[in-house]
Amino acid sequence: MRLIEKPRVTLIARPQLDAPGIHSYLERVGGLEWYNRVFVREARAKGEDLSVDPAAALVEFCGRLCYRSWDAGLNPNVTKVREDSAAYLRNILGSGHGSVMEHAQFSFIFEDVSRVFTHEQVRHRAGVALSQESMRYVRLDNIPFWFPEWCRDDEEFMRRSLDLLEQMEDHQRWMAEHFGLDDEGTDFTEKKAKTSFMRRFAPIGVGTGIVVSANIRAIRHMIEMRNSEHAEEEIQLLYREVAALMIEECPMLFGDYVQDSETGEYRTEFGKV
């Protein structure tokens, strides 16, 4: 048995822009003023080759395409445009024009999380891709398990719980031996079938891993739903980490979240976008 110190979430992928492709398109339609403002001026000021926030730039690009609002006059109906990117994106959030945020996607690995967490996570499907460790294939020769601090402080509870987990582990090892899973000649199809059955004797709190890829609109929705003080403790913990990661990673699209000093919950003035 392995006691999990803390379930973790790590950002493993983020958007990447093709600046020459964007430049080529805007050269044809007349939006180079926006390109120079977002990519060239900001990049030179920071000594970099590209915008420091590709997700925000992609969302702004897609939003401006909808109204051809790269610059005033390109669309006769648009006589004035917001030149500040932060102000433009804040207006996107405030107006609920969330569809343009679906173009920018991030990927996270949730590590040592329970099946309680993953069963809730997989309920989010729109704008989300999921890849979870399969217990049909991965044998449980030990049972990783997380206890929150208030559990660890309860001696009798911990003793009873650890005894129960050890019995489950013993049964997993006994089944593997009884079914001959490690015997020479046992083929993979047989191993898969027996391992698939054996997982029924594992607790729903067993530690596992899942990769979650989601666009910004979906991430915001998941933060608002899952970091709530009313969510289950493990889920709160993980999605407050997601909120903190995204505020640092993409401040123009997540900087509106503010953490409550009493509850720890991240809240925003904007509703669902």
CA distance 43 to 25: 20
CA dihedral of residues 254, 255, 261, 264 (deg, nearest 10)? 10
Helix axes 233-249, 216-226, angle to 10 degrees: 140
**Residue 89 and residue 55 in contact, taking contact as beta carbons nearer than 8 Å:** no
181 CB-near residues (< 8 Å, 6+ apart): 139, 190, 191, 194, 195
DSSP states of 66-112? HHT-SSTTSSTT-------HHHHHHHHHHHT-GGGGGG-EEEEEEEE
Going 40 to 43 to 44 to 49, the CA torsion angle's sign is: negative
Residue 109 pairs in a beta bridge with: 10, 211
**Residue 227 and residue 263 in contact, taking contact as beta carbons nearer than 8 Å:** no
Query: Which residues are identified as catalytic?
Result: 226
